[in-house]
Amino acid sequence: MNKIFSLKSISFVCLLLIFSCSQTDKSKSTKSDSNNSELAEKELDSAFKKMWKNLTLTDAAEYFKTDVSDSFFTINADGIVQNKAEFLADTKRIEMLEILSFEFFDQQIKVYDNVGIINGRIKAFSEGTYVGEVFYTAIFVKDNNVWKYENWQGTWTKDSPPPPSFVSENETKKVNQTY
C-alpha cells in the first residue's frame, strides 16, 4: 500500500508541477503581452502628440512626408472628407488648428497588432473662449516600426455651438449658383 500511495503521491506532485509550470509560462506570456501593449500605447500616445504638434502651416508638409500613411484620409467634424493632398492644400483649416487651443480628455488607446486607435474628446478655445467640443478617433498603422497617422474622424458634440465654416467665399458662390 505504501508503494501505491507513494506512486500516486509522486504522480500527483508531478502533475501539479507540470500544471504550475504551464501556468507560470502563461503568466510570463501575459506579462510580456501586457508590457508590449503598454509600450505600444506609449508609442501611440507619443505619435498622437507628435501629430498634433505638427499640424501647422510650418510643419505639416514635412510631417506628412514622413509620418503619415499614403492612404490617409480625414472626415472632419464639419463633414469635409479629405485625402492627404487635399488636407495639406486646405491652409485655412490648418490655420484654424494653429490659432485655437485645445484641451484633450477622455482619451483611450487600443492596440490591435499593427493598428492603433485613439478615441477621445477635445474642447476647443479661441483666445480663452470656448468654441466647441469634438469627439474624435485617430487611427495609426505601424509601418517599418513607425506609427503612421492613417485617419482622423471628428464629430461635433450635441452641446457645441454651431461650427465655423471652412468653405471659402468662392466655393460658397459656386454652390449657390448651381442651385
Q: Look at residue 17 and tell me whether its pLDDT is greater than 50.
A: no
CB neighbour list of residue 99: distance below 8 Å, 6 or more residues apart: 126
User: What rounded mean pLDDT belongs to the chain?
Assistant: 80
| 8 A C-beta contact, residue 120 and residue 105 | yes
Residues 6+ apart with CB under 8 A from 104: 120, 121, 122
Helix or strand or coil: residue 137? strand
pTM comes to: 0.71
Q: Which residues contact 142 (CB under 8 A, 6 or more apart)?
A: 114, 115, 116, 148
**Is residue 167 over pLDDT 60?**
no
The pLDDT tens digits of the residues spanning 119-132 come to 999 999 999 999 89
List the domains of the chain with CATH numbers.
30-178 (3.10.450.50)
Q: Where are the beta strands (DSSP E) in 22-114?
A: 68-75, 81-83, 101-112
